[in-house]
Amino acid sequence: MTRSIEFFDQQFARSASAAALALNPFETLALPYLQGEVLDFGSGMGNLAFAASRQGCRVTALDASQAAVAHMQQRATAEALPVRAEQADLRQYPIGADYDGIVSIGLLMFFDCATARKVLAELQQHVRPGGIAAVNVLIEGTTYLDMFEPTEHCLFTATELQQHFAGWDIVQNELSTFEAPSNTVKRFATVIARKPA
Ligand SMILES: C[S@@+](CC[C@H](N)C(=O)[O-])C[C@H]1O[C@@H](n2cnc3c(N)ncnc32)[C@H](O)[C@@H]1O
Tens digit of pLDDT for each residue in 58-92? 999 999 999 999 999 999 999 999 999 999 999 99
If you classify domain 3-12+24-89+97-194 with CATH, what class do you get? alpha beta
**Which residues' Cβ are closer than 6 Å to ligand 1?**
4-5, 8, 24, 27, 42-44, 63-65, 68, 89-91, 105-107, 110
CA dihedral 68, 70, 71, 77 (to 10 degrees): 140
pLDDT of residue 121: 98
pLDDT digits (tens, 9 = 90+) for 100-111: 999 999 999 999
- Mean pLDDT across 3-22: 78
Q: Which residues of 67-94 are buried (b: 16+ CB within 10 A; e: fewer)?
A: bbbebbbebbeeeebbbebeeeebbeee
* Residue 9 pLDDT greater than 90, yes or no: no
Q: What is the distance in A from the centroid of ligand 1 to the CA of 9?
A: 9
Please report the atom of ligand 1 found closest to the CA of residue 47.
9
**Residue 143 DSSP SS3:** coil
The CA distance from 156 to 31, in Å, is 24
Any idea where the domains of the chain sit in the sequence? 3-12+24-89+97-194
Q: What is the distance in A from the centroid of ligand 1 to the CA of 77?
A: 22
Please report the atom of ligand 1 found closest to the CA of residue 44.
27
Please report the atom of ligand 1 found closest to the CA of residue 105.
6
pTM for the whole structure: 0.95
